[in-house]
Amino acid sequence: MDTPKIPGPRDEGERQVLEKLMAIRDQLQLRKLDRTTYVRTQDVMVLYNQTIEQVRILSEIRNGKPVEENQVDRIVDSVFQLLSLFFMTIGRNNEAPAAYALTSTIKRLLDHLTESNLFSAQDLESMSDTLEHLSEIVHNSASTKPAPFLEALIAQRIDRCRASLSNLQRKIEDIAEPLRPTADKLISILRQMAVINTKSKFSPAEIHKRESELREIGESRKDGQFVDENGNVLKGSENISGLLERCLDYTKIILEKNGQFPDKWRSIYDVLVGIRNELDRLSLTQAWSLRETDLYDYQRQLDRIDESRVNGNWLDEQGRPAELYVQRTLLYLIRRSYGYIYHLMISSEPVSEALLPIYNQLQTLKRCLVEVKNSGGVTSVRELYPYSMKLHSIDNMRVDGKFMVGEDIPEGQGSVAELLAECFDLNYELRVDAEAADTPEVQTPELQSEA
């Protein structure tokens, strides 16, 4: 919607749909910004149903007609993206609409991995597992039954992601098994250097250390090739040698630039560093400070900057492409930020933000109890009083077995109840062990006579 490249709709019916969808998006944006109250399920579902109705009308208008992408398609994507994050916020993570935003982020990450040709098996494993989980959600979600086209849309997005993933997995298979740890090590070093390069200040010694590691890997070759213990050239040796040279070239560029970023690209750089740093902070404080809808603005900023490239690079005011150092640095920041967003989404708990304070307290209690158990338990029951009191105070908050907020019963009751039960069980086990340790052993007659 923010780019003039996308034309407006020509059909009057589509224009009406556009207006109504924009009104829905505005309501979602306003609700996203409101921090005075938690997001209620019923508010989200009203807007979700209105969106489904408008998309149904759009499908009828376009039925059997050739379609060119216009602003309606963009607004549909924006609204579904927001709704998807709202579904996470209200704790309905295991329903089809919640999968929409994740598929968008996974697709971005896969496109960037394909473009850079820099990835490890671990990078792909997580996304493969997530896609499997999303596929199960889409096919089992009751919420999409009134809107089968949404189920089909998300299923298509998952299939596209799987196709990209398969292409990348084949490239991993083109590297001999013994050589894959070396490939992973080189990718890790390259990413470490990218992190160092975007620090406000860094010591050249940090880069020299990685350079030494790279030269050590290079010296493990025989006649410029990676070979097995029998001297046979390993499959993928040429590609890994190319990656090694790429890493060595990057060390020279970083040392030469010494953190000095060209002024004409500084504005984009500062925005991306700011997004990366803010997402990094959220990843550390997620349980207490993140509302999933906050991710929407970061996504859209990243999307705009990413899509402003021409043939993979950014152009200055004179139409000249950015130099390699600028391009690599900006792309690293974009990819890192998308990676944070992905991590924050898959870490989202299926609990409404209204119940998150209770859920987070129980998570902390559980961690403490597990730590106490792993360190040998307690010496007396009295040591468990603070945990017991806290657990009972939380348990007493329930009304007819439910955690209520006003008249509402927020989503995630099962998750909170299960976690509470786990904490009670841990507390009980520790109490039993403490009581057993406190009970004096009864001396046998033989021992008594000896005494």
Name residue 199's amino acid. K
pLDDT at position 66? 75
Q: Measured at the alpha carbon of residue 398, what is the angle toward residues 395 and 400, in degrees to the nearest 5? A: 125
| C-alpha atoms less than 13 angstroms from C-alpha of 130 in its C-beta half-sphere | 29
pLDDT at position 144? 47
CA-based end-to-end distance of the chain:
90
pLDDT at position 207? 94
Helices (H), 34-147: 41-62, 71-89, 96-116, 121-140
pLDDT at position 448? 46
Helices (H), 290-384: 295-307, 324-346, 356-374
The helix/strand/coil state of 225 is strand
d(CA 436, CA 87): 47
In order along its 451 residues, the chain shows pLDDT tens digits of 444 467 878 888 889 999 999 999 999 999 999 988 889 999 999 999 999 999 999 988 888 777 778 899 899 999 999 999 999 999 999 999 999 999 999 999 999 999 988 898 889 999 999 999 999 998 876 544 546 778 888 999 999 999 999 999 999 999 999 999 999 999 999 999 999 999 888 899 999 999 999 999 999 999 889 998 888 999 999 999 999 999 999 999 999 988 889 999 999 999 999 999 999 999 888 767 788 999 999 999 999 999 999 999 999 999 999 999 999 999 999 999 999 999 999 999 899 999 999 999 999 999 999 999 999 988 888 999 999 999 999 999 999 999 998 888 999 999 999 999 999 999 999 999 888 876 655 444 544 444 3
pLDDT at position 285? 80
Give the other-Cβ count within 10 Å of 171's Cβ: 15
pLDDT at position 182? 95
d(CA 89, CA 433): 40
Please choose, from the candidates 90, 85, 114, 111, the residue with its C-alpha nearest in 3D space to the C-alpha of residue 100: 85
